[in-house]
C-alpha cells in the first residue's frame, strides 16, 4: 500500500528519496512522486507520474535539470495505492497547497474530506485532484501563520480518519513535519541528517536507530534533530529502537524474485524463530516476550485468534495446537469479523493477534477491541516495533527477517513454529507431560532441516508446474492439519499466478464444489502421512472419477498415493503437527513456478499490497 519517505540533510536528497521509494516498491503501488524544497524558490519542485519508480526517474531526469533542484536540503516522496481517484498524475502524491509552497504526502483515508473540500472550494481554493489528501495541503495553507508545525497541528485537528503524513514548506527548507494517526511513521535518527518513512525498509540502509511515532504524535525534524510532541502537546522522549536488519536482507541476493529468496530463506528463518526458545530437558519452551508465569498461563481458559490472509491460515494451525496440546478451547476469526461482531471476551480469555507486518488495519482494530473488552492480548508479529507489536504490549516476534515479496512465505512457517512453541508452553501448565513435551520440542528443533530438505524438491516441483501452467482453475484439498495447508496453497497460487484456485476441506468437496471438476481442473491433494489420510485418499479417487487430474503432496516413501494421483510431489516425513511446514513450502514453490511460467510479476502482483492498512 502507500509508502512515504522523507529526508532532511546535506547529502543527495533526491537520490536518497528515490532510493527509499525503490525500497517501498514491494508494498504495491500504482503511481509515485517526489517534492523538493529548493532554498530561495517559493514553488516547491514536484515530479509525479502513474506507473513505476523507473518511470518517475525518467521524468525526474527530464524535469529536474538544475543543480539546485538536485541538491535540495529537504525532500519527500510517495508511492500511491489508489483509494480516492484513478492512478494518474494528478492524483499521485505529493499534493501541493494552492500557493505551491506546501507539499504533503499521506497514507490513510481522510473520511470527512468531501465536507472540507466543499468549504475550501467556496473560499476560492482550487483543487487539481480527486484525492482526499489534497484537502490536507490546502488546510495547512489556510492555517499557516508563519509556523509550519502549528499550521500542521491545527489542520490535523479538522481531519477525521487515518493518516501518516509528511509535510514540507518552501518557507522552511530545513524542517520536515510528520504526524501519525492510524498509519505508521518511523523516524531514522542520524548524526547530521534525519529520515522519515512509513516503513523502515526505506531507511534501514542509512540508520538502524529508529523511533516509531505513536498515534497523535507530531514530529518536527531538522537535519540530525527531532522533536516529538504527543496528542496532548506534551514533549515526548522515546529512546530509539535498534532495528536488527541488515541491508542484504532487503535485497534479492542473486535470486530472480524476493519471493523465491524468501522461500529459500526458510530453514534459516525458522532457526532464528526457534533459537534459544526450546528447552528439551524440561520438555517445554521459553518465550520471554509473553511475560506470563505458569500460574498466569494455567488460568487462561480460552484463546481467541484474530488474523488475516496467510496469518489467518497459520492461526488455524495454531487452533489445532492449543486444543491438541493444551486442551484450551480456541476460536479463530478473520480480524475484520472479530472487530465488528461484538465478540464475547471472558475474563480469562487470551487473544492472539497474528500479523507479519504488524500493521494490518483489521488485525490492529481487533487488538484494540479485545483490549477495550479487558482481554489480555499477545501479538505474534515479524516487524519489530510495528503497531500491533507495540499495542499488544506483549507477544512473540518471529525474527524471520524482513519479508519483502508480497506473497507471504517465510512468515507462515515461522508463525506455525511460534504457535507450536506457545501451545507447548501452555500445554505444560496442563496435561502435557515432560516426555511428550520433550519429543515435540526435539521435533521442532529439526524443522529447519525439514524445510531444507523440502527445498531440495524444487526441480521436481517445477517439472509438475510445467505440465499444468496452462490450467485456469485449481482445487486444493486437505483435512486435519492439512486443511489450513490446502487453504494456504490455494491462496498462494491465486495471488501470484492469477489462476482461480479454491481451498476446501477434503470432505466438503462432495457438498457442492465437485460439480466443477473435469479434466481441465486439477486438484492438489495435501496428504501428508497423518491421521485421516485414508479418507483423503478416497476423496482423491472421487476427483479422478470426475476426470480431474490429482497432484498429491505426500510424504517421502508413502506409496499409498501413487495409484490415486497423476503426480506426486514429495516432502520429508515429520510428526503430524509439523507437516503444514513442508507441505506449504512445496505449495509455495509450486505457486512460484506456475506464476513464473505464466510471466506474472511475482513480487508485485496486480491489485495487491504488502500490508493492508485500510479496512
- CA-closest candidate to residue 69, choices 47, 94, 91, 49: 47
Burial 215-245 (b: 16+ CB within 10 A, else e): bbbbbbbbbeebebbebeeeebeeebbebeb
CA distance 47 to 64: 8
- How many CB atoms sit inside 10 A of residue 499's CB? 22
Q: Any contact of residue 386 with ligand F6R (CB under 6 A)?
A: no
SS3 assignment, position 81:
coil
- How near is the Cβ of 615 to ligand F6R at its closest, in Å? 12
Interface region with ligand F6R, contact rule CB under 6 A, candidates 56-64, 67-75, 169-177, 355-363: 355-363
Q: Any contact of residue 308 with ligand F6R (CB under 6 A)?
A: yes
- Computed from CA positions of residues 51, 52, 54, 60, in that sequence, does the dihedral angle turn out positive or negative? positive
Grid coordinates representing 51 are: 506507473
User: What binding mask, one character per residue, do residues 206-225 give for ligand F6R by CB under 6 A, x or -?
Assistant: --------------------
Nearer to ligand F6R, 16 or 335 (CB): 335
355 DSSP β-pair partners: 381
* Percent of the chain that is helix, strand, coil (3-state, to 5): 40, 20, 35
Instruction: Return the half-sphere exposure (C-beta side, CA atoms, 13 A cut-off) of residue 585.
Output: 33
CA distance 338 to 305: 9
User: What binding mask, one character per residue, do residues 501-530 give for ligand F6R by CB under 6 A, x or -?
Assistant: ------------------------------
Nearer to ligand F6R, 491 or 594 (CB): 491
229 DSSP β-pair partners: 218, 235
Please report, as residue ranges, which positions from 259 to 278 form the binding site for ligand F6R (by CB under 6 A). Answer: none
Tell me the residue number closest to ligand F6R, measured at CB. Answer: 309
User: What binding mask, one character per residue, do residues 480-499 give for ligand F6R by CB under 6 A, x or -?
Assistant: -----------x---x----
Contacting residue, 357, 526, 536, 604, with ligand F6R by CB under 6 A: 357
Nearer to ligand F6R, 69 or 502 (CB): 502
Place of cell 519452551: 285
Instruction: Return the half-sphere exposure (C-beta side, CA atoms, 13 A cut-off) of residue 207.
Output: 21
Point out the residues that are catalytic.
2, 610
Contacting residue, 311, 375, 429, 457, with ligand F6R by CB under 6 A: 311
- How near is the Cβ of 417 to ligand F6R at its closest, in Å? 15
103 DSSP β-pair partners: 96, 168
Nearer to ligand F6R, 221 or 364 (CB): 364
Q: Any contact of residue 355 with ligand F6R (CB under 6 A)?
A: yes
Instruction: Return the half-sphere exposure (C-beta side, CA atoms, 13 A cut-off) of residue 408.
Output: 27
Q: How many residues bind ligand F6R (CB under 6 A)?
A: 15
Please report, as residue ranges, which positions from 406 to 425 form the binding site for ligand F6R (by CB under 6 A). Answer: 407-408
- How near is the Cβ of 97 to ligand F6R at its closest, in Å? 34
Grid coordinates representing 589 are: 514453490
Q: Any contact of residue 604 with ligand F6R (CB under 6 A)?
A: no
Contacting residue, 363, 375, 392, 565, with ligand F6R by CB under 6 A: 363
Q: Any contact of residue 611 with ligand F6R (CB under 6 A)?
A: yes
Cis bond leading into 441, ω under 30°?
no
Given a contact cutoff of 8 angstroms between Cβ atoms, the answer to whether 68 and 14 are in contact is: no
Nearer to ligand F6R, 125 or 258 (CB): 258
Interface region with ligand F6R, contact rule CB under 6 A, candidates 148-156, 231-239, 309-317, 450-458: 309-317
Question: How far are the Cα atoms of 536, 551, 553, 554, 604 from residue 562, in angstroms, in the given order?
Answer: 13, 10, 11, 10, 36
- How near is the Cβ of 607 to ligand F6R at its closest, in Å? 12
Nearer to ligand F6R, 458 or 495 (CB): 495
Interface region with ligand F6R, contact rule CB under 6 A, candidates 55-63, 90-98, 293-301, 352-360: 352-360
Q: Any contact of residue 613 with ligand F6R (CB under 6 A)?
A: no
Nearer to ligand F6R, 388 or 528 (CB): 388
- How near is the Cβ of 93 to ligand F6R at its closest, in Å? 23
Interface region with ligand F6R, contact rule CB under 6 A, candidates 4-12, 100-108, 353-361, 453-461: 353-361
Nearer to ligand F6R, 266 or 357 (CB): 357
Q: Any contact of residue 356 with ligand F6R (CB under 6 A)?
A: yes
Sheet holding 394-397, edge to edge: 330-334, 302-307, 349-355, 376-381, 394-397
What stretch of H or E contains 230? none
Nearer to ligand F6R, 91 or 382 (CB): 382
Please report, as residue ranges, which positions from 72 to 111 form the binding site for ligand F6R (by CB under 6 A). Answer: none
For Cα atoms 361, 476, 526, give the angle at the middle one, nearest 5 degrees.
110
Is residue 588 packed enough to be buried (19+ CB in 10 Å), middle (13-18) or exposed (0-12)? Answer: buried
| Pairing verdict, β 225-229 and 235-236 | antiparallel
DSSP designation for 20: H
Q: Any contact of residue 132 with ligand F6R (CB under 6 A)?
A: no
- How near is the Cβ of 311 to ligand F6R at its closest, in Å? 4
Instruction: Return the half-sphere exposure (C-beta side, CA atoms, 13 A cut-off) of residue 300.
Output: 32
Interface region with ligand F6R, contact rule CB under 6 A, candidates 15-23, 131-139, 226-234, 357-365: 357-365
Place of cell 507477544: 395
**Which residues of the chain form contacts with ligand F6R (CB under 6 A)?**
308-311, 355-357, 360, 363, 407-408, 491, 495, 611-612
Amino acid at each position: 500500500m502507500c509508502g512515504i519517505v522523507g529526508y532532511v540533510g546535506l547529502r543527495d536528497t533526491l537520490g536518497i528519496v528515490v532510493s527509499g521509494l525503490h525500497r517501498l516498491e514491494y508494498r504495491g503501488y500504482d503511481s509515485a512522486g517526489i517534492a523538493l524544497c529548493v532554498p530561495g524558490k517559493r514553488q516547491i519542485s514536484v515530479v509525479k507520474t502513474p506507473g513505476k519508480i523507473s518511470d518517475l526517474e525518467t521524468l525526474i531526469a527530464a524535469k529536474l535539470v538544475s543543480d539546485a533542484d538536485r541538491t535540495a536540503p529537504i525532500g519527500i516522496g510517495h508511492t500511491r495505492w489508489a483509494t480516492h481517484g484513478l492512478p494518474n498524475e494528478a492524483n499521485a502524491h505529493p499534493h501541493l497547497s494552492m500557493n505551491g509552497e506546501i507539499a504533503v504526502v499521506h497514507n490513510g483515508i481522510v473520511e470527512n474530506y468531501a465536507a472540507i473540500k466543499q468549504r475550501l472550494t467556496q473560499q476560492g481554493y482550487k483543487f487539481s485532484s480527486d484525492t482526499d489528501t489534497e484537502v490536507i495541503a490546502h488546510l495547512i495553507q489556510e492555517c499557516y501563520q508563519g509556523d509550519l508545525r502549528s499550521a500542521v497541528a491545527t489542520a490535523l485537528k479538522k481531519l477525521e480518519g487515518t493518516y501518516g503524513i509528511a509535510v514540507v514548506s518552501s518557507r522552511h527548507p530545513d524542517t520536515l513535519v510528520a504526524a501519525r494517526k492510524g498509519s505508521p511513521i518511523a523516524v531514522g535518527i542520524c548524526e547530521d541528517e534525519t529520515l522519515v518513512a512509513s516503513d523502515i525498509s526505506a531507511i534501514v540502509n542509512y540508520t538502524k536507530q529508529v523511533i516509531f511515532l505513536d498515534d497523535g504524535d507530531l514530529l518536527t525534524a531538522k537535519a540530525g534533530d527531532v522533536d516529538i510532541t504527543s496528542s496532548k502537546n506534551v514533549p515526548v522522549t522515546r529512546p530509539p529502537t535498534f532495528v536488527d536488519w541488515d541491508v542484504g536482507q532487503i535485497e534479492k541476493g542473486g535470486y530472480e524474485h524476493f519471493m523465491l529468496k524468501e522461500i529459500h530463506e526458510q530453514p534459516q528463518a525458522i532457526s532464528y524463530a526457534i533459537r534459544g526458545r526450546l528447552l528439551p530437558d524440561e520438555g517445554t519452551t521459553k518465550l520471554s516476550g509473553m511475560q506470563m508465569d505458569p500460574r498466569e498461563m494455567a488460568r487462561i481458559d480460552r484463546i481467541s485468534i484474530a488474523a488475516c490472509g496467510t496469518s489467518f491460515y497459520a492461526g488455524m494451525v495454531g487452533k489445532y495446537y492449543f486444543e491438541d496440546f493444551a486442551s484450551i478451547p480456541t476460536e479463530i476469526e478473520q480480524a475484520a469479523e472479530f472487530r465488528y461482531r461484538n465478540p464475547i471476551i471472558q475474563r480469562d480469555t487470551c487473544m492472539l493477534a497474528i500479523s507479519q507486518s504488524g500493521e494490518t488495519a483489521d488485525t490492529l482494530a481487533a487488538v484494540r477491541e479485545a483490549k477495550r473488552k479487558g482481554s489480555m492480548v499477545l501479538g505474534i508479529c515479524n516487524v519489530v516495533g510495528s503497531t500491533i507489536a507495540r499495542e499488544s504490549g506483549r507477544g512473540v516476534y518471529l525474527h524471520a527477517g524482513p519479508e519483502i515479496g508480497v506473497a507471504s512465505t517465510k512468515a507462515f512457517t515461522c508463525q506455525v513454529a511460534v504457535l507450536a512453541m506457545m501451545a507447548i508452553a501452555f500445554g505444560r501448565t496442563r496435561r502435557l507431560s515432560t516426555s511428550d513435551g520433550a519429543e515435540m520440542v526435539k521435533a521442532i528443533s529439526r524443522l529447519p532441516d525439514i524445510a531444507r530438505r523440502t527445498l531440495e524438491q524444487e526441480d521436481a516441483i517445477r517439472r509438475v508446474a510445467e505440465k499444468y501452467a496452462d490450467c485456469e482453475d485449481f482445487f486444493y484439498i486437505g483435512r486435519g492439519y492439512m486443511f489450513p495447508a490446502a487453504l494456504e496453497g490455494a491462496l498462494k497460487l491465486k495471488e501470484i499466478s492469477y489462476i482461480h484456485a479454491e481451498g476446501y476441506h477434503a470432505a466438503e468437496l462432495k457438498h457442492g464444489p465437485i460439480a466443477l471438476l473435469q479434466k481441465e481442473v486439477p486438484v492438489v491433494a495435501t496428504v501428508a502421512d497423518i491421521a485421516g489420510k485414508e479418507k483423503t485418499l478416497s476423496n482423491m479417487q472421487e476427483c479422478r472419477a470426475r476426470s480431474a487430474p490429482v497432484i498429491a503432496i505426500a510424504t517421502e516413501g508413502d506409496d499409498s498415493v501413487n495409484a490415486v494421483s497423476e503426480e506426486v510431489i514429495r516432502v520429508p516425513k515429520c510428526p503430524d503437527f509439523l507437516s503444514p511446514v513442508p507441505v506449504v513450502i512445496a505449495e509455495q514453490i509450486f505457486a512460484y513456478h506456475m506464476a513464473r511460467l505464466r510471466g506474472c510479476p511475482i513480487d508485485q502482483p496486480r491489485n495487491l499490497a504488502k500490508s493492508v492498512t485500510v479496512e
